[in-house]
A and B are shown apart, each in its own frame.
Chain A
Amino acid sequence: MKLAFQIAYKNLIGSGLRTWLNVIVLSFVFVVIIFFNGLIDGWNQQSLQESIKWEYANGYLLNNDYDPNDAFTIADGHGHLPDSDTKNLTPVLIRQATIYPQGRLKSVLLKGIPAGQETIALPTASLDSSHANIPVLIGKRMAETAKLKEGDQVLMRWRDKNGTFDAADVTVHRIFDTSVASMDNGQIWMPVERLWELTGLHGQATLYIADSDFQTENFDGWNFESQDELLQDFRDLIEMKKVSGNFMYIILLFIALIAIFDTQVLSIFRRQKEIGTYVAMGMTRMQVLRLFTVEGAMYSVFGVVLGMAYGIPLFIVLSRMGITLPEFYQDMGVNLPRTIYPVFGVELIVLTVLALIISATLVSLIPARKIARMDPVMALKGKIQ
């Protein structure tokens, strides 16, 4: 085996440009696979963290009559906990409303939250400084679709607790920027005290957001969903994304392996006199098989080494500086942070290295078997077609 490595190494180094072309292609595939994996991992981790920071905190205490996936439950899905129980809980009251920006009709979710809350990153504190009658916060996406700017007033219509319609102008106090689209799209945030007044639902909440000091307890009529449970859908989505991502890596890998395979098959013709000479000098079939398999595998090893040489500095820089995406990606409705910090884990790198080397070895084995079984007389005459 040592012999195969020695000779393979020399042959590869000795054949110059041809080797380096393969090695460059392989290193590129290696780097691209790791780059995209790292990007997606980083994005996922960031999105999870952003979701926790902006939306879920430590979990939700949901009113039993409220189902987040069913808009019809909003009307009656609310209640209130005795004050003594609301320690470490931030109430959110959700109502349906309609706004009329530039005379167009748009349904929104009206969400009340205490201006003084610090459980989620929503910049509610600024609402306190507003002198407007009804100050609200909206996200960038909402501002975009409703064509609203900070300071704009827009007519809003809602129902009070008896189902009677009421209407008033609300003032856009601040537009916030979050990567968590589900806190933004179609939503208007206002101080919960104001929403209680507007609807007559004093002290009521659709859900409570738990902060990190919250201890899980049983509350009659309420159902606690932990951070983990809330993030489950998100994690499932990540798994799905990974599967479709893998498809791309397989295609990339395939391209790289074709390069090796092609080189090996060409060797059958191009190097037949050399192979005949090996046999004439007393190399066994097994030794020839090993030699050509190791040569193929060695391309991938060189590819990995070269890939690491320029990839690792690149990965380090990218994971520090992050990748800032152009504005328009924000409009895709996914939770895409402005700047993604890729995460390049050891596991990712090790698995990619293994995948590359193992597949290169397997791919080399097929032509190498053919090479080892060549008729040495024909090979020496250069007559193998």
Chain B
Amino acid sequence: MSTKQILKLDNVVKKFPVGDGRYFTALKGINLEIDKGEFAGLVGPSGSGKTTLLNIIGSLDSPTEGKAIVMGQNISELTHKESAKLRNIHIGFIFQVYNLLPVYTVFENVEFALILQNVSASERKKRVMEALEWVGLQDLADKKPDKISGGEGQRVAIARAIVKKPDIMLADEPTANLDAKNAHQIMRIMKKLNEELDTTFLFSTHDEKVMKYLERIITLKDGSIAEDKQVTPQKTLK
């Protein structure tokens, strides 16, 4: 495994204003390093700060205190334009609700990520079809999101995130809306991408099924890391 560092969080604190000049502290000094190629998950009860942490790593939000370095860049110091560029090039998001663009076809949804990178049309076509192949959806390329199933929708979302070959994929409860069969399929697809493309994955999940695939489990409790351990996955591609 390569030792290239993807992210390093140094005493990250996140406070949300809750009125009357008071704050709610969602993250209480998080220290975390993730290297290239990891297949890691944030687990913990609801409200423990998983999503908040993913949002900071994805530069959609910034820490109140401490330093979050992603791809060598300090999130707090980025301009809007720089953080957009970081997301555009280095980060792929997968959401619990797939957030596909409803007026676009499956193909166009995936293509969108490349349009934002100014990739040429012919190159886009090649790479979108390749990404759809990874998730096994070549045949649905011309369908609109409302004409496909939930499992297929999440696979489109994976294709859309992976098509630009980001350094890290941030997946916030990607299986929460899926049945067991689809959840396993999604996890297998992601594990395969992790192995074949050496893409780093960071999940947030309560889902036992997801946890079975993880190689590292970071347990959050009340905004702090309660446990951080390497594990042997119970489920692999073999």
Instruction: List chain A positions with a Cβ less than 8 A from chain B.
Output: 3, 6-7, 10-11, 13-15, 273-274, 276-277, 279-287, 376-377, 380
Q: How far is the CB of A368 from chain B (nearest CB, A)?
A: 15
- By a CB distance below 8 angstroms, the chain B residues around A376 are 60
Q: B115, A3: Cβ atoms under 8 Å?
A: yes
Q: B101, A377: Cβ atoms under 8 Å?
A: no
User: A13-B103, A14-B102 in contact; A280/B85 too (CB < 8 A)?
Assistant: no
Q: B113, A281: Cβ atoms under 8 Å?
A: yes
Q: How large is the interface on B (under 10, 10 to 19, 20 to 34, 35 or more residues)?
A: 20 to 34
- By a CB distance below 8 angstroms, the chain B residues around A3 are 115-116
Instruction: List chain B positions with a Cβ less than 8 A from chain A.
Output: 55, 58, 60-61, 80-81, 84-89, 91, 93, 95, 97, 99, 101-104, 108, 112-113, 115-117, 160
User: A273-B99, A276-B99, A380-B99 in contact; A282/B88 too (CB < 8 A)?
Assistant: yes
Q: B104, A280: Cβ atoms under 8 Å?
A: no
Interface centre among A15, A276, A282, A284 (most CB of B within 10 A): A282
Please, could you name 29 A-B residue pairs with CB atoms under 8 Å apart, sorted by A? A3-B116, A6-B115, A7-B115, A10-B108, A11-B103, A14-B102, A14-B103, A273-B99, A274-B102, A276-B99, A277-B95, A279-B84, A280-B58, A280-B60, A280-B87, A281-B113, A282-B85, A282-B86, A282-B87, A282-B88, A282-B91, A282-B116, A282-B117, A283-B116, A284-B80, A284-B81, A285-B80, A380-B60, A380-B95
Q: How far is the CB of A334 from chain B (nearest CB, A)?
A: 52
- By a CB distance below 8 angstroms, the chain B residues around A285 are 80-81, 84
Complex alpha-carbon distance, A285 and B89, angstroms: 16
Q: How far is the CB of A294 from chain B (nearest CB, A)?
A: 15
Q: B103, A10: Cβ atoms under 8 Å?
A: yes
Q: A281, B88: Cβ atoms under 8 Å?
A: yes
Complex alpha-carbon distance, A285 and B91, angstroms: 17
Q: Which 7 A-B pairs have the closest CB atoms?
A: A14-B103, A282-B88, A282-B87, A284-B84, A277-B99, A280-B93, A376-B60
User: A279-B84, A281-B87, A281-B93 in contact; A377/B55 too (CB < 8 A)?
Assistant: yes
